[in-house]
Amino acid sequence: MLGTFVYSNPTKLYFGEDSLKFLNDELPKYGKKVMLIYGGGSIKKIGLYDEIIKILKENDKEIIEDGGVMPNPTVEKLYEGCRIAKENNVDLILAVGGGSVCDYAKAVSASAYCEEDPWDKYFIRMEEVDNKIIPVGCVLTMVGTGSEMNGGSVITNTATKQKIGCGFDEKVFPKFSILNPIYTFSVPRYQMVAGFFDIMSHILEQYFSGDDDNTSDYIMEGLLRSLIHSSRIAVKNPKDYEARSNIMWTSTWALNTLVEKGKSEDWMVHMIGQAIGGYTDATHGMTLSAVSMPYYRYIMPYGLHKFKRYAINVWNVNPDGKTDEQIAKEGLNRMEEYMKEIGLVMNIKDLGVTEDMLEGIADNTFILTGGYKVLTREEIIEILKASM
């Protein structure tokens, strides 16, 4: 039964090949100083940096640059960004890049004027933002995180080996995001398929939880089918615009807080994956793919009805003459075959995890209660061993 909930998403999206031109519509809404945040320089290689600088100058903006955002943004980088933003009294943060750049921009947005240590306040204690917030806009160059239309931000503390995500409320959501699928064409294959699975994992974390057979489940099954179809095309031809545009749109809807409504949400694959990332700095989507099959096979008996439905409605398993368990297992087997087909990492050893890390990874895994089975620390270690 659907309970009572509130849905609000203030992010305005501009989608398509010509979407960057709408930056001209957004910039006049903000003050003169724009903090331009980007990653390792790929936006310069594809010419996007020059295009954005030109638009900013045409709109008479003062540009404060903050480049070098790493794939797993660190708390040290966050402190640096907060200092830059506050010292320059910036009026808008413009994030140009993938999910990590957008995550980092939102963390700076919420943290620059925080009077305490933002790591402790927002990522450890998970408190609400009660200080001045700098508005954020995004120009997306890689899909997967859905960060362009939500309040999520994941930051890594290398000293404590903790990689923690927090969900800022709608005040921190990007005010606008520009989504041009062509900008994703230059993403290396490894990162591209990692992003594809990040999308899938976002949907599954919400799907395998809470009230079953509600409207959200039907939407998620459609998103999954679309993703599977288009990703198979994209791995063969990464410049297939139709496939990449469908994937980009699916990614946004997978985690813009819509399909979570009516669901308790699981997120244990992400908790384990992020704990692995804290130890190895591995690509996020690959940490998820490496633990997903052992995790879902472990919890399947506790949500058998839903795993059966998943097998039939997403993977087209024929249920005739089969038990519910046989149907569910066949669905997971088809998922595993698909994951191998598109080139995902299927074990945590390939990410640099060693036996001596397992205890620490388990200790740094937040145990959540929204899924079909609340794990113990020992069960997390068991799943990690199965992921080796």
Contact between 26 and 176 (Cβ < 8 Å): yes
Report phi then psi at 265, rounded to 5. Answer: 75, 140
Residue 1, in any domain of the structure: no
Taking the CA atoms of 140, 219, 346 and 165 in sequence, report the sign of the dihedral they define. Answer: positive
CA distance 249 to 179: 9
Are 105 and 195 members of one domain? no
Q: Is the predicted pLDDT of residue 2 greater than 90, yes or no?
A: no
Are 163 and 150 members of one domain? yes
Q: Is the predicted pLDDT of residue 358 greater than 80, yes or no?
A: yes
Are 247 and 348 members of one domain? yes
Are 98 and 212 members of one domain? no
Interval 275-300: pLDDT, tens: 999 999 999 999 999 999 999 999 99
CA distance 98 to 146: 9
Contact between 167 and 123 (Cβ < 8 Å): no
The SS3 assignment for 165 reads: strand
* Last residue within a domain, chosen from 184, 214, 243: 184
Residue 310, in any domain of the structure: yes
CA distance 291 to 308: 20
* Last residue within a domain, chosen from 151, 184, 217: 184
Domain containing residue 342: 189-386
CA distance 325 to 376: 24
Residue 349 DSSP one-character state: G
Residue 4, in any domain of the structure: no
pLDDT value for 332? 98
* Last residue within a domain, chosen from 184, 203, 219: 184
Single out the residue of 143, 66, 130 nearest to residue 99, CA to CA: 143
* pLDDT band at 1; cut points 50, 70, 90: low
Residue 160, in any domain of the structure: yes
What is the chain's Cα-based Rg?
A: 20
Are 222 and 96 members of one domain? no
**Total structural domains in the chain?**
2
Are 119 and 239 members of one domain? no
Residue 216, in any domain of the structure: yes
CA distance 320 to 317: 9
Residue 86, in any domain of the structure: yes
Are 178 and 194 members of one domain? no
Are 78 and 160 members of one domain? yes
Interval 34-82: pLDDT, tens: 999 999 889 999 999 999 999 999 999 999 999 999 999 999 999 999 9
Are 211 and 336 members of one domain? yes
Residue 259, in any domain of the structure: yes
List Cβ neighbours of 103 (8 Å cut-off, separation of 6 or more).
73, 145, 147, 152, 153, 154, 155
Q: Domain with 44 in it: what CATH number?
A: 3.40.50.1970
Residue 3, in any domain of the structure: no
Are 199 and 288 members of one domain? yes
Are 112 and 235 members of one domain? no
Single out the residue of 158, 147, 162 nearest to residue 275, CA to CA: 162
List Cβ neighbours of 382 (8 Å cut-off, separation of 6 or more).
298
Interval 299-337: pLDDT, tens: 999 999 999 999 999 999 999 999 999 999 999 999 999
Interval 250-273: pLDDT, tens: 999 999 999 999 899 999 999 999
Residue 385 DSSP one-character state: H
Q: Domain with 305 in it: what CATH number?
A: 1.20.1090.10
Are 16 and 133 members of one domain? yes
pLDDT value for 4? 84
Contact between 61 and 27 (Cβ < 8 Å): yes
